[in-house]
């Protein structure tokens, strides 16, 4: 025991850690391991069969492509929003700032039905696209719209504090050395916020990969075209194909873990760079 933890006069360590580990095991660890054991019954070949089937690969392509596109859109506009919120003052700024978190607070199903309604060919926004023969809802483009909504706060919220931390003096120093405004941004500000921007991008991307609720209403869910991987799991489940659903779920879980690890690495890197 003495080896395991350092002495402290504060009580409750055994109780607190014991409860933490028990609760974690019951809620997270055991259920997640059930997933891997179930896949094991499928065998390696069975797993590969499911994972490499044409429909699964197509759904992965759709999921990755739309998630990536949404994360790129969010990285670009999120940076501008963060910039505006940190640097400028305008009426209603506090309200706008609070509203940025809406996608965290609004249930995904609500987001899904309202976006589907807005971007339907006869919807408020969809009609303008329809005029140019562009379909948004019920196509991969609709998925991008939903995922952009879901991922919107991530980039803003990771870049905002870092941008606020960039010292005015550093900018003044650069300007006093003759750098133009664009140079200052490119050479002084952007390098400082770049790791945070990348972290925000990765967070938005990771969230988009697993998203389900907001997408299914707007996606149209056409196999091979606008079917995302989480939906495919549900589809398999509804056909009582538990093994198939499990195999895809394991695949997704592995992708999620890889993303979690790279995000941790990114944050570690960005906090090291941020340290002065």
Partner 1 sequence: MSLTTNNRIAVNTRITTTESKPVIGLLLIVALTYLVLFLGLPLYAVFHEAFSKGSELYWSALKEADALSAIKLTLLVAVIAVPANLVFGIAAAWAIAKFEFKGKSLLITLIDLPFAVSPVVSGLVYVLLFGAQGWLGPWLMEHDIKLIFAVPGIVLATIFVTFPFIARELIPLMQAQGRDEEEAAVSLGASGWQTFWRVTLPNIKWGLLYGVILCNARAMGEFGAVSVVSGHIRGLTNTMPLHVEILYNEYNFVAAFAVASLLALLALVTLGVKSLVEWQAQRSGEPLHGAH
Partner 2 sequence: MSISIENLNKRFGDHVALNDINLEVKSGELLALLGPSGCGKTTLLRIIGGLDVADSGKLLVNGLDIAQRDARERNVGFVFQHYALFRHMTVFENVAFGLRVKPRKERPSDAEIKRRVTHLLQLVQLDWVADRFPSQLSGGQRQRIALARALAVEPKILLLDEPFGALDAKVRKELRRWLRQLHDELHITSVFVTHDQEEALEVADRVVVMNHGKVEQIGSPDEVYATPASPFVYQFIGNVNLFHSRIHSAWTEQHGDAVAYVRPHDIDISHTQQDNEALAGEIKLIRAVGAIVRAEVAVAGSDELVEIELSRERFDAEPMVNGDRVFIRPRQVRVFE
Give yes or no for residue 107 binding partner 1 (CB under 8 A): yes
Among 4, 7, 168, 178, binds partner 2 (CB under 8 A): 7
* Residue 106 found at the interface with partner 1 (CB under 8 A): yes
Stretch that binds partner 1, among 43-51, 53-61, 131-139, 245-253 (CB under 8 A): 245-253
- Which partner from the list partner 1, partner 2, none does 81 bind, CB cut-off 5 to 8 Å by kind? partner 1
9 contacts partner 2 (rule: CB under 8 A) = yes
Q: How far is CA 87 from CA 6, 82, 93, 161, 180, in A?
A: 46, 8, 11, 12, 18
Q: Which of 237, 248, 200, 247 is nearest to 63 (CA)?
A: 248
Closest CB 13 distance from partner 2, rounded Å: 14
Within 13 Å, how many C-alpha atoms sit on residue 217's CB side? 18
20 binds, among partner 1, partner 2, none (CB under 5 to 8 A by kind): partner 1
Does residue 172 belong to the site contacting partner 1 (CB under 8 A)? yes
At closest approach, how far in Å is the CB of 7 from partner 2?
A: 5
Q: How far apart are CA 75 and CA 67, in angstroms?
A: 12
Nearer to partner 1, 57 or 80 (CB): 80
The CA distance from 257 to 275, in Å, is 27
| Site membership for partner 1, residue 212 (CB under 8 A) | yes
**Partner from partner 2, partner 1, none binding residue 34, C-beta < 5-8 Å depending on class:** partner 1
For CA atoms 117, 153, 150, 60, the dihedral sign is positive
Q: Does 51 bind partner 1 (CB under 8 A)?
A: no
> Measured from the CB atom, is 111 or 198 closer to partner 1?
111
- Residues 67-96 touching partner 1, rule: CB under 8 A, are 77, 80-81, 83-85, 87-88, 90, 94, 96
Q: Is 220 helix (H, G, I), strand (E, B) or coil?
A: coil
Closer CB to partner 1, 6 or 131, in the complex:
6
- Round to whole Å and give the CA distance between 249 and 234: 10
Structure tokens at 152: 């919107």
CB of 251 to partner 2, least distance (A): 42
Nearer to partner 2, 3 or 122 (CB): 3
Instruction: Look up residue 134 and give its DSSP letter.
Output: -
d(CA 203, CA 213): 18
Question: Which of 138, 149, 154, 205 touches partner 1 by CB under 8 A?
Answer: 149
d(CA 152, CA 140) in angstroms, rounded, equals 18
Binding partner 1 by CB under 8 A: which of 55, 121, 129, 210? 210
CB of 62 closer than 8 Å to CB of 228: yes
Task: Residue 244: name the closest of 55, 101, 99 by CA.
Answer: 55
Residues that bind partner 2 (CB under 8 A): 6-7, 9
């Amino acid at each position: 025991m003495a080896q395991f933890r350092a002495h402290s006069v504060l009580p409750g360590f055994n109780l607190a850690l014991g409860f933490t580990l028990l609760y974690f095991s019951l809620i997270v660890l055991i259920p997640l391991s059930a997933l891997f054991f179930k896949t094991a019954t499928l065998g390696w070949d069975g797993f590969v069969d499911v994972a490499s089937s044409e429909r699964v690969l197509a759904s992965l392509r759709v999921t990755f492509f739309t998630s990536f596109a949404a994360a790129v859109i969010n990285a670009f506009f999120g940076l501008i929003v963060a910039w505006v919120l940190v640097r400028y003052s305008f009426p209603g700024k506090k309200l706008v700032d609070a509203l940025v978190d809406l996608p965290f607070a609004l249930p995904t199903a609500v987001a899904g039905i309202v976006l589907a309604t807005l971007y339907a060919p006869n919807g408020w926004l969809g009609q303008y696209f329809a005029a140019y023969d562009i379909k948004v809802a019920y196509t991969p483009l609709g998925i991008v719209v939903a995922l952009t909504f879901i991922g919107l706060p991530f980039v803003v919220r990771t870049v905002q504090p870092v941008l606020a931390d960039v010292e005015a003096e550093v900018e003044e120093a650069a300007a006093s050395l003759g750098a133009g405004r664009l140079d200052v941004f490119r050479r002084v500000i952007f390098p400082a916020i770049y790791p945070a921007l990348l972290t925000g991008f990765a967070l938005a991307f990771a969230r988009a990969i697993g998203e389900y609720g907001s997408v299914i209403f707007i996606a149209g869910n056409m196999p091979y075209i606008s079917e995302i991987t989480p939906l495919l799991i549900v589809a398999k489940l509804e056909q009582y194909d538990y093994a198939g659903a499990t195999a895809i779920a394991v695949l997704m879980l592995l992708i999620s873990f890889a993303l979690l690890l790279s995000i941790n690495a990114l944050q570690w890197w960005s906090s090291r760079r941020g340290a002065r």
